[in-house]
Chains A and B, each alone.
Chain A
Amino acid sequence: MQQYLVKRLIAAGAVLFGVTLLVFTMVRLVPGDPVDIMFANQPPPTPEQRAALRRQLGLDLPIYRQYLHFLSRALRGDLGRSFRSKQPVTREILTRLPNTLKLTVASLTVALLTGVSAGILAAVFRGSWIDTATMLLAVLGVSLPSFWLGLMLILLFAVHLGWFPVSGAASWRHLVLPAVTLGVLTSGILARLMRSSLLDELSRDYVRTARAKGLREATILTRHVLRNALIPVVTIVGLQLGQLLSGAVIIEAVFAYPGIGLLAVNALQARDFPLIQGIVLFVAVVYVLVNLAVDLLYCLIDPRVSYA
């Protein structure tokens, strides 16, 4: 286990190094001088100001030193300053993070409750109309554009029925529509996965033995099968967490929900590169760390998984 842990940590470290390299390179590939981009909507700087700013930003250094400079600052939590608000990028991200975390957890809860239940229902009633209807809904869930679904939910539940607010994040009621919208896609994926995993487990020898012993179907399902069938779901939930973080970009824009996603969209539209760079780096690092945690958790909950 220890050897596996070390190997996995080294691999994650190598990926994180690559992520920083890629994010750093991307911003350098933007056409035009960064100083000109900074002054896009302002009077152009004097040559002295330009030279001072280039020195201050480290743009006069060779490219590898610029990268090392970027990396050492990033490791200390300094991701530069937003072109637009002039605030530190880290502060901008951390201010919005709680809202995005709330949305991610809420949508994951929606997805787990509906997706896992739908998958169990479909597997238990395999071949019946319940199975067909549930799987049809699941494929519809993964096919609907979330930004369109969000607008339609606003139209029905906010505009016509007035049950929930259209936008903002002032109370839990503001969270309902974005969480449902974001959760639908994951719910569809989980329902399909849960069904196939459960059917796979139900066809195994130990289930036949349990039936032969005269155990009730409900007992077999809850005591034996469900736990094993949930193992692949854990992996997907981990992967989906990252997907939800990035999916929140569009959903937060639809609901004007003040999280990291809306911050990213605004930064994109204003070509605020330090902020874009910071958000992309932050989400990618979180995603790599979540994947690492899920991998380790997977080994703990499933003894069949080899550490090799």
Chain B
Amino acid sequence: MAEVATVVRSGPFRHSRPGTSRTWRELMRHPSAVVGGSMIATLLLVALIGPLIAPHDPLAMDLANRFQQPSLMHPFGTDEFGRDVFSRVIYGARISLQVGIVAVGIAGTLGCLLGLVTGYLGGWLDTAGQWVIDVLLAFPGLLLALAITAVLGPGLLNVIIAVGIGALPTYARVMRGQVLALKQEEFIVAARVTGCSTTRILFRHLFPNTLSPIIVLASLGFASAVLAGAALSFIGMGAQPPTPEWGAMLASGREYLRRQWWIAAFPGLAIAFTVLGFNLLGDGLRDALDPHREAG
């Protein structure tokens, strides 16, 4: 028992989870992870150094140069106010990443906390938690986010909150499943027997061992959050003009689709690039973090 106590207090256990170096090796061998990771790295770089590489001010209007076709001066053309679409797409990367990071942050934090606590404590708390998750999951796809946006009103921040809450139940369910599988394991029983507090067991021993599927979910969830945020902006509930948000740009570009296709085409391609990157990375992460996969 003294041995167990020493081990429990010295740090968290790792439960049959692939090591970091093995995960990294697996990721590097996975073509879709490499491609997806490179796409996301490019996107991050564009978002970080956007102001340095954008050739024009994304909000600057130039009515003399409205509806310019893509050219060397304006690689993605200009919109109905003569604004440079390329610069707006570059600045849009920041907004989309912001939507993804904050929405996944809200969903991940609240969802994981709900799943962790209710799954471990069980009893009526678990029954109530499960009911809440089931009720939230009864709203398919964008519906919950739409309803929340209706209550909060249009705006980027409200869309981020709505998308985050809309994704919350999936994290809670996955986390709860992980906790239920792990809470009867010997290392948790040992931690309990040696007098570890519930908070310590939850956050020091259980939580680190449940992270693999959450990381995969977050990567795929990032893609969904970017898509949902853009979709809500597209129907006018998200970012408002003149914010260079991809969904809103697409919505204004559809008015001119017949002749000035570039106004809608490039923001859409930017969304597809981002979502594809996160989906490919998520696929790679799922394989690399799968403990049942043979290490090569």
Contact = CB atoms under 8 A, between A and B. Distances in A.
Given A148-B264, A154-B257, A250 B231 contact: yes
A199 to B, nearest CB: 14
> Size range of the interface on B?
35 or more
A24 to B, nearest CB: 12
Given A15-B134, A15-B135, A280-B139, 10 more contacts: A30-B151, A139-B279, A139-B283, A145-B227, A145-B271, A242-B140, A243-B141, A268-B146, A283-B143, A284-B139
Nearest to B254: A151
A271 interface: yes
Nearest to A285: B138
B53 interface: no
A280 B257 contact: no
30 contacts: A14-B131, A15-B134, A15-B138, A18-B135, A19-B135, A19-B139, A27-B151, A31-B153, A140-B276, A144-B275, A145-B227, A145-B230, A147-B231, A148-B268, A148-B269, A151-B254, A151-B264, A154-B257, A155-B261, A246-B141, A249-B235, A250-B231, A250-B234, A253-B235, A268-B149, A268-B235, A268-B237, A269-B236, A283-B143, A284-B140
Contacts of A254: 254
Contacts of A253: 234-235
Interface string A267-286: 01101010010001001100
Contacts, number: 136
Contacts of B292: none
A167 B237 CA distance: 22
Contacts of A145: 227, 230-231, 247, 250, 268, 271-272, 275
B84 to A, nearest CB: 20
A29 interface: yes
Interface of A: 11, 14-16, 18-19, 21-23, 26-27, 29-31, 139-140, 142-149, 151-152, 154-155, 159, 239, 242-243, 245-247, 249-250, 253-254, 264-265, 268-269, 271, 273, 276, 280, 283-284, 287-288
Contacts of B275: 143-145
Residue with the highest number of chain A CB atoms closer than 10 Å, among B247, B254, B280 = B254
Contacts of B237: 268
A246 B143 contact: yes
A142 B231 contact: no
A250 B138 contact: no
Nearest to B265: A152
Contact of A280 (B147, B267, B268, B271): B147
Nearest to B227: A145
B148 interface: yes
A243 B235 contact: no
Nearest to B223: A143
Nearest to A139: B279
B63 interface: no
B181 interface: no
Contacts of B140: 239, 242-243, 245-246, 283-284, 287
A250 B230 CA distance: 11
A152 B143 contact: no
A268 B280 contact: no
A271 B269 CA distance: 31
A26 B148 contact: yes
